[in-house]
Amino acid sequence: MEENQPKTGKFALNYGILTGLIGIIFAIMLFAMDMHYEQGAAIQITQTLILAAGIIFAIVQFKKAGGGFLTISESLKVGAGVALIAAIVGLLYFFLLSNIIEPGYMDKVYEIGKIKAMADNPSLTEEQIDQGIEMNKSFAWIMYPVLIIMNVIVGLITGLITGLILKKEDTAY
């Protein structure tokens, strides 16, 4: 019976790539509409829903492949795995966007941030804002591991909730 059990890693890889590609399609759509600089709540929620939907779909398919049985542990593994792979695929796209497709992307992001900071904090001088932006530039690399960790946390939470709902363990007999 254990030989028929599907592998969580295979499902995480396949559905993680699929979820990452759907996220890239959404990002390309934003790019085509010249909205890729906007990071409003609607865009963030849509990206999170794409990730959650990919994770839920992967867990449901994993349960079907396992003969209708699913443990919370398997659900967590699939959820975290899908989120990790989707994050890596998304970061690869972001790297291509910011270095090849639109090399001035980060400079424009910082310029937009400067304008927003000046509007939000009129008491700050332009020199203080420029100092803050330079500090942000020196710590920009930390964005990559933080995004991966955030994705995995969303994957674990989604996997846990889905696992609690769909849990059905094989009897010991």
Question: Which candidate, 13, 9, 18, places its Cα nearest to that of 54?
Answer: 18
Sheet strands (E) in 7-97: none
57 located within any domain? yes
114 located within any domain? no
pLDDT at 74: 95
Output the DSSP codes for 84-106.
Answer: HHHHHHHHHHHHHIIIII-TTHH
pLDDT at 103: 86
22-49 in b/e form (b: 16+ CB < 10 A) is: bbbeebeebbeeeebeeeeeeeeeebee
Two structure tokens written together for 42: 């609607």
**pLDDT tens, N- to C-terminus, the chain (173 residues):** 455 688 999 999 999 999 999 999 999 999 999 888 787 899 999 999 999 999 999 999 999 999 899 999 999 999 999 999 999 999 999 999 888 988 887 878 777 777 777 777 777 777 877 777 777 777 778 888 999 999 999 999 999 999 999 998 877 65
43 located within any domain? yes
pLDDT at 172: 61
Two structure tokens written together for 23: 């996220």
117 located within any domain? no
How far apart are the C-alpha atoms of 23 and 78, rounded to whole Å?
A: 18
- Number of domains the chain is built from: 1
DSSP 3-state assignment of 70? strand
Neighbouring CB atoms inside 10 A of 164's CB total: 10
Two structure tokens written together for 49: 């829903």
pLDDT at 30: 92
pLDDT at 1: 43
Task: Provide the residue range defining the domain that includes 157.
Answer: 7-102+144-166
- Model pTM score: 0.85
Q: In sequence order, which residues have a C-beta less than 8 Å from that of residue 170 and are 6 or more positions away?
A: 1, 69
27 located within any domain? yes
